Chain A
């Protein structure tokens, strides 16, 4: 039954992703489409109020618009959480957030990371949950999608890179808002609360008092997944019965967070007018995903040897930190999807995963390109595709080309720096944290697992994932500042570098395809790209993996 339910979810995903890819390609078409008739009216009003003209931009204008709009959103969000104590919709009377935690929180939601150093029940008012958290949960995946589409326009040689504001607004009106409403209402039907009433006090069967926190959860829950955001309304995220009450809500959340990342290769196939190219990239990511999923599933199903040795049956698998309604299959699937799609929501506690089960989310975030978050993840795999073309070109001694455009020194420099910045902002801060008291005092599970806790926190920040080995006591100035900076670097550096690559490619003359052209839409290329990803990943991260999860695996009895 475990295999059947996992297979069923993946088949459903595939069936949804193919038409979604086509739809996304239409949404962001530079030509007029039928969709304009449906959504154009509303969008014109938004452009008018905001004073936006719809003319096409150069890559520099596009990058500037992206950055400045994000700075404006940061400012608004920061002010709201700092003053939430005196703002409306605060029935549980929650006080202002302190400045460093506010910096960390707003950076986290602005960068689509959703790392949380606070607990939603006690740290944020309903007003902040709505106007900061839910608001940024829409704008950040929309920003990622816009950037991805601009990159694809450059790569596929369209007439222009587009207009950032138009792309941003369309991602809201045509994709994220309609889907969030539908998914949100289905979630309420499964039992997810959607109320403005405050925490309720019940008198239990045994006569004790029980506080039950609730709130406008469903509205956040749907966009949390559709936007690969991941920040929970409650501290334990989608493990909380109010965020994820049934196995079906779990399936729906998995499909929601995987839908857009999985459909982008197909959107790309439409834009290049070469669907096979889209399928090759989808398959490359899909194969890696399946290998990681199998590792997580079997490792968790085998249970915890340390508990087996004291005589506790492990027939159910490793159940510490998991919920009975999900069991091993729905938990392992959720864990693999949430770190592949860099959502970062969790339906079981990643800190409690068995050593190899915990290695899977860590490695997926280190690679950061097995589907990845809305928009940005697909750019990452394309970056590796270009790297693979470059390596293949070097091996046969000719100028590498991708989609009929020469890949030259300028692009390769930008790509190489972007690939290197990711391990740099994971490993250097991890080393500092492990070497100093201010960092290592946060560790709650001593030994090899403590190393994993620290590395996981920075990997999650750099990959803009947001899940954590949550035992880490991370609401301190050191952790708030360091992870805040890592998240901002992880998001904006690669964004700007990639839009520059797109601009540079768009300016090139296409080279005609000849018999000597290296084909990128066949299985040879599939193998090449998977090998490139795994070799680069292993060379970079193997030592730290060996010190953390692998050492724990070898020593646990």
Chain B
């Protein structure tokens, strides 16, 4: 038993202490911004958020992100874990759809992209699909008194393609897009 305990403690020191601390040290030296969570700061140096973590946008003059049952509170993470057959989810989607159509009267119901009305897995998804951004253009344009062409250009500028041209999906970072809106 004693040698098992000794071996366990040696492995604990190597794997549980030395390894994570060494990883922290190396990461903090060569990639400090990423290692600290890719935080975005404003001109005064205050933290506005992280470019990887989505934010809650309720003001109609901003592009809105995906549904989040935790309202983008990054102290935790999670979703409603609704089964595809769950009545509460159907009800939530119906309500969100009505609200969206009210705020965006030019939009046909069938044209709303599904990612805009579904809860992301993490509740912190920073992205929406390019289509989900474009469908909000008329609303944001009229709220801000900007032309639709200008906004479409802005979306295009903030659209990330598939990584290495193959992996994942094209997407728009909502926080970065909205920060760019405020710079206009």
Contact = CB atoms under 8 A, between A and B. Distances in A.
Interface of A: 1, 4-5, 8, 46, 49-52, 65, 68-69, 71-73, 76, 119, 121-122, 130-132, 134-135, 137-139, 165, 168-169, 172, 177, 180-181, 184-185, 188-197, 199-206, 208, 210-214, 216, 218-220, 223, 234-236, 239-242, 245-248, 250-251, 303-307, 310-327, 330, 346-349, 351-355, 444-445, 447-449, 469-471, 552, 555-556
Given A205-B55, A234-B77, 6 more contacts: A130-B20, A139-B8, A201-B47, A316-B129, A352-B79, A352-B119
Contact of A347 (B9, B83, B97, B121): B121
Contact of A236 (B12, B75, B121, B168): B121
A172 B15 contact: yes
B36 A214 contact: yes
B37 A307 contact: no
A270 B121 CA distance: 42
Contacts of B10: 46, 49-50
B153 interface: no
Nearest to A311: B109
B179 interface: yes
Top 7 A-B residue pairs of the complex, sorted by shortest distance between their CB atoms: A247-B168, A471-B81, A239-B121, A135-B16, A211-B75, A327-B169, A445-B83
A200 B31 contact: no
Given A206-B62, A239-B122, A445-B82, A319 B114 contact: yes
A181 B3 contact: no
Contact of A322 (B9, B56, B121): B121
A206 B35 contact: no
B134 interface: no
A247 B114 contact: no
A444 B163 contact: no
A230 to B, nearest CB: 15
Contacts of B48: 202-205
Interface string B98-142: 000000000001111111011111111111110000000000000
A49 B171 CA distance: 53
A65 B11 contact: no
Contacts of A349: 79, 81, 121
A469 B128 CA distance: 25
A69 B1 CA distance: 8
B20 to A, nearest CB: 4
Contact of B37 (A214, A305, A354, A445): A214
A8 B6 CA distance: 44
Question: Which of B38, B57, B79, B129 has most A Cβ within 10 Å?
Answer: B79
A46 to B, nearest CB: 6
A445 B86 CA distance: 6
A254 to B, nearest CB: 10
B149 to A, nearest CB: 24
Given A121-B75, A135-B15, A4 B49 contact: no
B53 interface: yes
B31 to A, nearest CB: 5
Given A195-B37, A202-B48, A205-B179, A236 B15 contact: no
